[in-house]
Structure formats: C-alpha cells, structure tokens
Structure 1
Amino acid sequence: MFLVDLVHFDDNIPNWRTKSEVLNVNVLVLVTEGKVSYSINGIDYVGERGDFIFIPHGTRRAGDNHHTGPHQKYTVIFRYDENAVPVIPFLQNKQFVQFKLRNFQYAQRRFERLFEEVCNGGNYLSFICPAILQELIGMLARELEKPEVTPMKMKYAQLIKHYLLDHYREPIEIGQLARLIHRSPNYTTSVFREVIGHSPIKYIHLLRIREACSLLLSTDMTVANISSYLGYYDTSYFFRIFKKHTAMSPTDFMIYGKHTDHAELFP
C-alpha cells in the first residue's frame, strides 16, 4: 500500500535548502522547531512548529531556511499504489496540505519512531515502516475532517493542558480547571475534549500512567510507592487504570515493558 523511500531529520542545518523541482514522490513533513520556507507551485508558505505538511508528487517545490534562522523537521519520502489505498481525499486529489495538529506530541513520537526504524535497519522494516506511515496519513485525514477549532478554544485547552502537565500528580477536580478559564465545568470538559481528544480526567490518567511506565522500568520503586507518588492512594485502583491503558499489569510491565513501543500505548 505505502512504500517508505527515505526519512530525514533536519536538525538546525545552517544552510539548508532544496532546489526547485517537480517531485516524482510524495513528501510528508512535521516541523518540530523553528520555521521553514517553501515555494509550492509558485506560492510561498511558511511551516512552523506543529505543522503537518503533505506535498504530493507532481508538485513543483523549493525549500529554504526561514529568515529567522534554521529549523528542525522530520521529512518522509514515500510512494503509494493509488489503486490499493482507501479513499483519502487529500491523497486522491493530490492536494497540498498544511495543517497544525492537535496532538502534536504523539505525531512527533511516531515520526521519531519511523526515523529510528529506518536508521537502525533490521528485519521486518517493510512491515513496520509502512504501518507507521499509514497511521500518520490516517491521523492527518481524520484531523482534516474535524471542524476548525477557534483560537479562543485552543487558548483555553492549552491553558488547561499546561496546568495538568504541572499538577497531574495532585488531586484535580473539573471545578478547578473551570475556574482557571472562567467557564462552566461542562464547557471546560467539552472544549478540552474537542481540542485535545480526551477529557481532562482521562488526560490526567494518561500522564500518570506514562510516568508510571518510566518509573517501573528505570527505578527500584515498588508498585505501591509508584501508585502513591502519582496520586493513586488505592493501589488496586492504580492496577485497574494501568491495565486499562497498557493491557498489562504493572508487574507484567516491569518484565515485558522494555519491549513495548510506549508511543503506541499513549495516543
């Protein structure tokens, strides 16, 4: 279905530039830092952190560092059989797309994983890499179908998100988050779910369980200590939440977790 030719990670290259040419491949880009300038069929675009960019084959493209300086980005060069892929509008229409993803961190981890797989080589690359690329294409297609989020909703969601990132180990109630943005609890939950994709409570659990995975693999803390450290004062409840999100108990994760791709556990 999809064939990955190359994956690049451009890491603040001082004189990065790509000449003007008509592409005979497809290009998928995730900008992770800074800004990058593109000319697409004679029209100028600027990609910045969080932008997911698709450039279809047949496009005349040139690229350069933005005048503000170098940038970081992942670039995937790929091909696909048009008769073998599902109907995905932006692929079918060979449409240039520039879109700011709502779940940037997860997309970044998937690009990182794709880059690592290509760099490390090994068996089954022909299965693993197209599967990751297919997920990224699906993410972009799904995001494009969602209604546009207003700047104010994005601002509210980001305020809540940053608060949760700083306080996820503490007891948090929806009322606290509502007061943070001066809105009702129902509106607070609704706008966070619309922008981030999860309710605030589920997002707290995801942050805690992600931290639990790291602690289980990299420390000698007991499961009970980790449960308490992360704000779960009932260890049995921590077990249930952990298994719900990882499909393993904490004790099993200590044994098998190092072989698990954590990015797939936490979208």
Structure 2
Amino acid sequence: MFQLMSVNFDDYIPNWRTQLETIAYNVLVVVRAGKVRYEINGEEVIAEKEDVLFIPQSTRRSGGNWNDTPHQKHTILFTLDRQEPTGIPFLDAGQFMKFNLTHIQYAYRRCERLYEEMRGGKSYRTMICQGIMQELIGMLARELEKTELAPSKRNYADTIKSYLLEHYRESIEIDALARLIHRSPSYAAALFKEVHGQSPIRYMHQLRVQEACSLLIHSDMSITHIADYLGYYDTSYFYRMFKKHTGFSPSDYVQQHNLL
C-alpha cells in the first residue's frame, strides 16, 4: 500500500523553505513546535503546534518558516499504489487535509520511532516502518470518523486550550479554567478530555515537558533552572513528570538526543 521515500525531523532549522513545485509524492506533516507556512495550490496554510497535514501527490506546494521563526516538525514522504483503492477515505480522495489528533503525544512518539528505524540498518526495518506508517494513517482515518462535536463544545475546549498554551508555566486551577467558559469545574474538565483526549492538567504538564525538551537541547540552562522556569518548584516532581511523559530522565533525554 505505502512506499516510504524518506522520514525527516526538522529541528528549528533557520531559513527553512521548500521551492514552489508540483510534488510527485504524498507528504504527512506533524508539527511539534512553532509555526510553518505553506502555499497549497495557491492558498496560504499556516500549520502550528499539534497540527497534522496531509499533502497529496500532484499538489502545487511551497513552504517556509512563518515570520522567519524556526519550527519543529516531522515530515513523512511516501507514495501509494494507485492501481487499487487503499480503503482509507482521505488517501483515496487525494485532497489536502488538516487534522488535529486526540492522541498527539503518541503520534509524536511513533514519528520518532519511524525516523530512528528509517535511519538505521537493523533487520526487519522495512516491515517495522510499514507497520508504524499504517498505524499513523489508521489513527488519522479513525479521527475523521468520530462524530462531530457540537460547535459550542469545540469552542469551549479551544478557549481552555488557548489559555493553557499561554499560561502553562503558571499554576493552573480547574476552577479558573471553568470560569473562562462560565461552566462548573467538573463540566470544564470532562469537556476538555472529551475533545482533546486528556485532562487540562495533564495537557499543562505535556506543554511544560515539551518546552523542557527544547530547553535541554537548545539552551545552557541547568535542569534545576528549567524546572523552576516551567513552574516546578520541586525538582524531584519535575523529574517524575518528565519521565512520565517521555520515558527518560532529563539527563538521559539529552544523552539520547546526542546519539542521534
């Protein structure tokens, strides 16, 4: 079904851009941080943190950093056997799509594994890569099959999410989030989990850990300083949260990154 061409991880590349061309392959883009600007068949598309794009073969496409600010994203280039349908509606339609995945952190980890496998030379690499790719495509197809949420619910959840994106380094209370949408704390927490697949507090920790990953690699801040900067005044608690979300301690994460 799929023929993988390449898997890339763009890690805050200065002056990143792709020329305007009609592409002869499909592209799956998973944005981890920042924003990226695309021109898709003459229309501007801005993709930001947690967005997933499907750019089909034969699209007229160019891309670049948004406002000259580097970003972080995974890109997967692949072709399809066009002699028979795949059974995946968005692939068979061959139209540009922009997604939001409920389990975006899991998608990040699968992209990381796919990137590592594609770069390595271990046995059964092709089989493993095909399996990961099929899982990612299946996740996207399943997301599109979900019953559409009422617009009011989506708006409430997005209001809370926007607040968390702006204030994740601060102390966050469910009561304060509930006041944003003039609903009860239990309703606010349940609604956010329904839309985004996790509680608001877990999402706050997720944002903090993502920022910690970036600071560990791209700054000279100490682990204690990073923990304090992100609102973790107990460094041991920061260690626990970091390992819970990444599977590594902060120092092990740096070591693993340096090995890539």
Task: Give the TM interval when normalised to the shorter protein.
Answer: 0.5 to 0.7
Q: How does 1:127-138 map to 2 (within 5 A)?
A: 127-138=127-138
Aligned partner of 2:156 in structure 1 is 152
Q: How does 1:50-199 map to 2 (within 5 A)?
A: 50-82=50-82, 86-146=86-146, 147-148=148-149, 150-156=154-160, 181=178, 183-184=183-184, 187-188=187-188, 190-197=190-197
Per the normalisation by structure 1, the TM-score is 0.62
Cα deviation code 1:229-264 (max 9, x no counterpart): 99xxxxxxxxxxxxxxxxxxxxxxxxxxxxxxxxxx
Q: Which amino acid aligns with 1:36?
A: V
Q: CA deviation at 1:72?
A: 1.0
Q: CA deviation at 1:59?
A: 0.7
Distance in 1 of aligned mates of 2:176 and 2:13:
44
SS of the residue aligned with 1:150?
helix
CA separation of 1:121/1:190 partners in 2, compared to 1, >3 Å: closer, same or farther? same
Distance in 1 of aligned mates of 2:198 and 2:14:
39
Distance in 2 of aligned mates of 1:105 and 1:118:
20
Per the normalisation by structure 2, the TM-score is 0.64
> After alignment, is 50-59 or 145-154 more displaced?
145-154
Distance in 2 of aligned mates of 1:63 and 1:179:
39
Aligned partner of 1:48 in structure 2 is 48
Identity %: 47
Aligned partner of 2:24 in structure 1 is 24
Cα deviation code 1:42-76 (max 9, x no counterpart): 11111111110000001111111111411111100
Unpaired segments ≥5 residues, structure 2: 165-169, 207-235, 238-260
Cα deviation code 1:147-206 (max 9, x no counterpart): 25513124447889xxxxx99xxxxxxxx9578626457635642442233689xx8xxx
Question: Once superposed, what is the RMSD of the aligned Cα atoms?
Answer: 3.4
Are the aligned partners of 1:157 and 1:195 in contact in 2 as well (CA < 8 Å)?
no
The structure with the largest alpha-carbon Rg is 1
Q: How many residues align?
A: 198
